Amino acid sequence: MSGTFTYLLIPADTNLPIQTLTASKAGGLSDDALQKEAKQYFFERSDKKAMQEAIEQANPEQRKQLADKMRQEVQMATAGQMNAAAFSNLDDDQLIEIMKSTKSSATCEITAITLPTPRNSHRGVSMYTADDARLQNLPHNPRATSLLTSCGHAIPTEKTSIGGAPVGGIHGDAFVGRYHDNELEDIWERESMTLKDVDIFDTTNNGPAVLPEWIDTALKPGGGGSVSATNLSNVKTIEDLKIGQEEKYSWSQNDDEVELRFPIDNGVKSKDCKVDFKMKSVKVTVGGEILLDATLGGDVDVEDSTFTIEDGRENGRELCITLGKKERYTWRTVASPK
């Protein structure tokens, strides 16, 4: 395996740009360059490096003090548990070895943003973060968190956090990379992740007009993402996506269809309305005026899409357009004006 691939570093500090980094594919899965880089990055920026140096440079008395401290921590953590006695019987050298492997080694947390599936051509995307980010009290990373939620992952809010833990989400800097994994064909290979792949961040609460293709796929059944709800304030929740109001129309959706409602004058008749249904777009014209010309948030079944004029609702007379979805899932966006 030869060649290089690109991956991303998303800083927790939103004033810093997302970086594109390059590494060799040569290591494959067993010696993955991205995972090695992430582990070393977080190791260098934590107290693990100082702990490693303290262990390596400790004299016999200092080693005993470190072992006693480790023993106390273990006893407190395992109080009342079956394995408490087993830890208390470990000698100093054994405890030092445990300390080396748990408190001074290069590790990281790996989160599957999407899993490889036939629908996404066996491409997965993973995120790498500090495994002790909360203990270090690292700052919240809104962009990395938004990337997770855009793929449907649920993030706990302050109401569901444990004890004094900070609001849920990603904390600290985050690496993001893509890979091709097909067990049937014995393939595991890194593929490039670019800035365009994470072009989902803006300064509004409405999210991007059009999601990157891999995220759009992830939200579909079998697409490799998660379809659970999110409660973050800076992205739309699943409930937010069920109903909405735009300047010229209101909309609602369920897993099967989308409904668009346009207020119209009493004198408007069906012959005055023209709706151009296409699989990925819709154009609505009433009395020669274009009310909507937009790209849709998913594919529609043109044969299952209709429009009617309805009376007697609270909003008066309305042009009601029903778009039948080709697949059953909640669209991230309903219609994006061209």
Neighbours of 38 (CB within 10 A): 28
CB-CB contact of 116 with 180 (8 Å): yes
Angle separating helix axes 92-103 and 48-57, nearest 10 degrees = 150
Give the predicted TM-score (pTM) of the model.
0.57
Q: Is 225 exposed, middle or buried (0-12, 13-18, 19+ CB in 10 A)?
A: buried
pLDDT one digit per residue (tens) for the chain, 338 residues: 679 999 999 999 999 999 999 999 999 988 999 999 999 999 888 776 667 777 778 788 888 887 787 777 666 655 544 445 555 667 777 777 776 665 556 678 888 889 888 889 999 999 999 887 877 788 989 899 889 888 887 765 544 333 333 456 889 999 999 999 988 888 999 999 999 999 876 534 445 556 789 998 888 877 887 643 232 333 344 444 578 888 899 998 887 899 999 999 988 999 999 999 999 899 999 999 999 998 888 889 999 999 999 875 566 789 999 999 988 777 767 888 87
Q: How far apart are CA 276 and CA 284, in angstroms?
A: 7
3-state secondary structure of 13: coil
* 240 CB-near residues (< 8 Å, 6+ apart): none
SS (H, E, C) 115-182: CCCCCCCCEEEEEEECCCCCCCCCCECHHHHHHHHHCCCCCCCHHHCCCCCCCCCCECCEEEEEEEEE
> What residue ranges define each of the domains in the chain, with the CATH number in brackets?
4-45+108-218 (no CATH), 48-103 (no CATH), 240-337 (2.60.40.790)
CB-CB contact of 22 with 33 (8 Å): no
3-state secondary structure of 60: helix
